[in-house]
């Protein structure tokens, strides 16, 4: 293999695919980036066996075809510090790779490309297309509720549901539910549901660019995202996702309408004297059009008050403040609704955007 490529283009594409390279693995090959130059062009990919990111065709002058797997971090560090605008990469005998730019030269030992794990082949029979900006919002406005508890693998991913008219994403961590949906511009013919790892969605959200289209293809155990400039292949999490629908009540005895930013500020002020949100929750007391927010810790007592629009009974509950602000900061609208099905101290709070059914967030109270 021998090729010449722009340093800027190389750096951009290594940074892109390296999101799927692992830094600690018993399989050294998983710490590598695979370089491929063949009749289809020049491209790179990384694969940690759960997530694979492959670049699109990279503009380069291919002099000789071939492939080599190089330590991703080492290769990236070398390329981005090279002095010239162009980089020459040459594969010699015994997997020795020479990287040149102006008067700088590095020789690094790689591994044969044949040893690099290839992503699963996914048939592109049924495409599901969505605007990249919409998909990024779906992820951004739900992914904070993905569980980090590996003993509950299904909850470490998000459920994606696509029916004829809507695409939904649902995340549950045992203490809260986040549901976000969009109405599709073009109806789909085949409904689908699958659980996608949270890590995959995080990386996709960082890559998505406005004014582009993301196309999704599903297989039994994996899925493929075709994005602008790259493709991402990921495993799916197998099993039946939690039945979340019955938890999201539509019947409420108390509704509160308030300004989103004002509520964020009030909750954050109340937490200034707390060190541990789990041990020191905030207490919300709704009383005759006032939302009183208090916090009590070993450092002292905080009190804050908001004027709100109240429809229903007074109540008093305690919540982990981060669960509230995670939802509010993910939203973009000015007005939000806080809804309560009962006045019991164990009644969950449902947060919605005023006048919209496309947002639905449930937070369980603490027992303090």
DSSP string spanning 35-75?
EEEETTEEEEEEE-SSEEEEE-PBPEEEEE-EEEEEEHHHH
CB atoms within 10 A of CB 64: 10
Which of helix, strand or coil describes residue 180? strand
Task: Report the pLDDT value the prediction gives residue 185, as an integer from 0 to 100.
Answer: 78
According to DSSP, residue 174 is labeled S
- Quick: pLDDT tens for 17-76: 999 998 777 789 999 999 999 999 999 999 999 999 999 999 999 999 999 999 999 999
Alpha helices in the chain (DSSP H): 7-17, 72-80, 132-140, 198-207, 260-270, 321-330
Q: Are strands 86-91 and 96-101 parallel, antiparallel or unpaired?
A: antiparallel
**Under 8 Å between Cβ of 305 and 290:** yes
For residues 225 and 269, what is the distance between their CA atoms, to the nearest angstrom?
41
What contacts 177, CB < 8 A, 6 or more positions away? 145, 170, 171, 244, 247, 248, 360, 361, 362
Going by pLDDT thresholds of 50, 70 and 90, the confidence category of residue 324 is: very high
Type and span of the H or E element at 90: strand 86-91
Residues 323 and 363 sit within 8 Å (Cβ to Cβ): yes
Percentage of the chain beyond pLDDT 70 is 99
pLDDT for 168 equals 96
Query: How far apart are the C-alpha atoms of 335 and 355, rounded to whole Å?
Result: 9
- Copy the structure tokens of residue 215: 């196309």
For residue 175, pLDDT beyond 70: yes
Whether the per-residue pLDDT at 368 is higher than 80: the answer is no
- Fold adopted by 248-363: DNA Polymerase III; Chain A, domain 2 (3.10.150)
Confidence of residue 186 (pLDDT cuts 50, 70, 90): confident
SS3 call for 239: coil
What is the mean pLDDT of the segment spanning 292-316?
A: 93
Instruction: Find residue 62's DSSP bridge partners.
Output: 3
Stretch (H or E) spanning 159:
strand 157-162
**Where in the chain are all domains bearing CATH 3.10.150.10?**
2-115, 128-235, 248-363
* Sign, Cα dihedral of 243, 232, 139, 268: positive
pLDDT over 80 (residue 277) = no
Nearest of 76, 107, 73 to residue 90 by alpha carbon: 107
> Under CATH, to which class is 2-115 assigned?
alpha beta
Q: Are strands 66-71 and 60-64 parallel, antiparallel or unpaired?
A: unpaired
Q: What does the pLDDT read at residue 93?
A: 93
Q: Give the 3-state secondary structure of residue 89.
A: strand
How many Cβ atoms sit within 10 Å of the Cβ of residue 174? Answer: 12
For the segment(s) 128-235, the CATH number from 3.40.1360.10, 3.40.50.150, 3.40.30.10, 3.10.150.10 is 3.10.150.10
**Measured between alpha carbons, how far is 234 from 119 in angstroms, rounded to an integer?**
8
Does the pLDDT of residue 77 top 80, yes or no?
yes
pLDDT, mean over the chain: 93
CA distance 173 to 196: 14
Q: How far is CA 285 from CA 268, 282, 359, in A?
A: 16, 10, 24
CA angle in degrees (0–180, nearest 5) for 292-308-258: 105
Q: What is the pLDDT of residues 128-151, one digit of tens each?
A: 999 999 999 999 999 999 999 999
């Amino acid at each position: 293999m021998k090729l010449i490529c722009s340093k800027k283009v190389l750096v951009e594409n290594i940074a892109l695919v390296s999101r799927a390279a692992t830094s600690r693995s018993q399989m050294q090959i998983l710490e590598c980036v695979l370089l491929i130059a063949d009749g289809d062009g020049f491209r790179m990919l990384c694969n940690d066996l759960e997530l694979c990111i492959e670049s699109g065709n990279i503009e380069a002058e291919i002099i000789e075809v071939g492939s080599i797997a190089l330590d991703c971090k080492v290769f990236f560090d070398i390329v981005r510090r090279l002095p010239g605008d162009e980089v020459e990469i040459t594969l010699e005998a015994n997997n020795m790779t020479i990287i040149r730019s102006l008067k700088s030269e590095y020789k690094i030992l790689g591994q044969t490309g044949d040893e690099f794990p290839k992503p699963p082949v996914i048939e592109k029979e049924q495409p599901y297309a969505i605007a990249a900006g919409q998909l990024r919002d779906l992820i951004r406005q739900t992914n904070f509720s993905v569980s980090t508890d590996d003993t509950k693998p299904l909850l470490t991913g998000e459920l994606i549901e696509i029916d004829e008219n809507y695409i939904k994403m649902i995340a549950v961590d045992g203490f809260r539910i986040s549901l976000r949906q969009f109405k599709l511009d073009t109806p789909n013919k085949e409904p689908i549901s699958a659980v996608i790892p949270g890590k995959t969605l995080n990386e996709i959200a960082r890559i998505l660019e406005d004014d582009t289209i993301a196309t999704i293809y599903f297989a039994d155990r994996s899925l493929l995202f075709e994005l602008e400039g790259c493709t991402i292949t990921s495993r799916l999490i197998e099993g039946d996702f939690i039945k979340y629908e019955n938890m999201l009540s539509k019947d409420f005895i108390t509704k509160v309408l308030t300004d989103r930013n004002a509520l964020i500020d009030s909750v954050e002020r109340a937490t200034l004297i707390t060190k541990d949100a789990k041990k020191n929750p905030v207490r919300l007391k709704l009383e005759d059009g006032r939302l009183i927010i208090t916090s009590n810790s070993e450092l002292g007592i905080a009190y804050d008050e908001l004027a709100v629009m109240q429809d229903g009974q007074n109540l008093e509950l305690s919540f982990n403040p981060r669960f509230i602000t995670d939802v509010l900061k993910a939203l973009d609208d000015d007005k939000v609704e806080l809804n309560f099905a009962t006045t019991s101290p164990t009644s969950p709070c449902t947060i919605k955007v005023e006048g919209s059914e496309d947002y639905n967030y449930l937070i369980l109270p603490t027992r303090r």
